[in-house]
């Protein structure tokens, strides 16, 4: 969890789960860590994890099976899992170059956000 991100922890958890599904790291039927496991590894409050899981369940992405755990229910519409190996390599090269230039994750996110805004016809 990035406490300086300006985003509530439950939303960060939601984004992490959505991204993992979008990238194919989690698939329908996969079991998510228990609330207790997330609390232990991320250092967040139990209610934070419950809220994130509940929101994702209401969105149809997760399903809670009493006594069994929380599971991925559906996929997120995306072509990210179909990214060409070349495009993925270029992105990884860019990240490596940015780190060598002294940029941190927040700097890179800001640059990417600006590029996406510009590409969408914004600013």
SS3 91: helix
Average pLDDT value for residue range 20-39 = 90
* Residue 122 pLDDT greater than 70, yes or no: no
* Residue 78 pLDDT greater than 80, yes or no: no
CB–CB of 9/48 below 8 Å?
yes
CB–CB of 63/5 below 8 Å?
no
pLDDT digits (tens, 9 = 90+) for 48-65: 999 999 999 999 899 999
33 by Cβ neighbours in 10 Å (0-12 / 13-18 / 19+) ranks as middle
Which domains, ranges and CATH numbers included, belong to the chain?
9-72 (1.10.10.10), 83-119 (no CATH)
* Residue 119 pLDDT greater than 70, yes or no: no
Average pLDDT value for residue range 14-22 = 89
Q: What is the pLDDT of residue 51?
A: 95
At residue 30's C-alpha, the angle toward residues 24 and 32, to 5°, is: 105
């Amino acid at each position: 969890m990035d406490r300086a991100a300006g985003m509530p922890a439950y939303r960060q958890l939601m984004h992490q789960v959505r991204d993992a599904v979008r990238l194919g790291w989690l698939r329908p039927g996969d079991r998510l860590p228990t609330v207790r496991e997330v609390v232990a590894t991320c250092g967040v409050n139990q209610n934070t994890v419950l809220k994130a899981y509940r929101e994702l369940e209401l969105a149809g992405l997760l399903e809670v099976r009493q006594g069994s755990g929380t599971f991925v229910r559906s996929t997120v519409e995306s072509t990210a899992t179909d990214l060409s190996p070349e495009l993925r390599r270029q992105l990884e090269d860019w990240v490596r170059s940015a780190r060598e230039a002294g940029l941190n994750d927040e700097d890179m996110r800001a640059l990417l956000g600006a590029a996406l805004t510009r590409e969408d016809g914004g600013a």
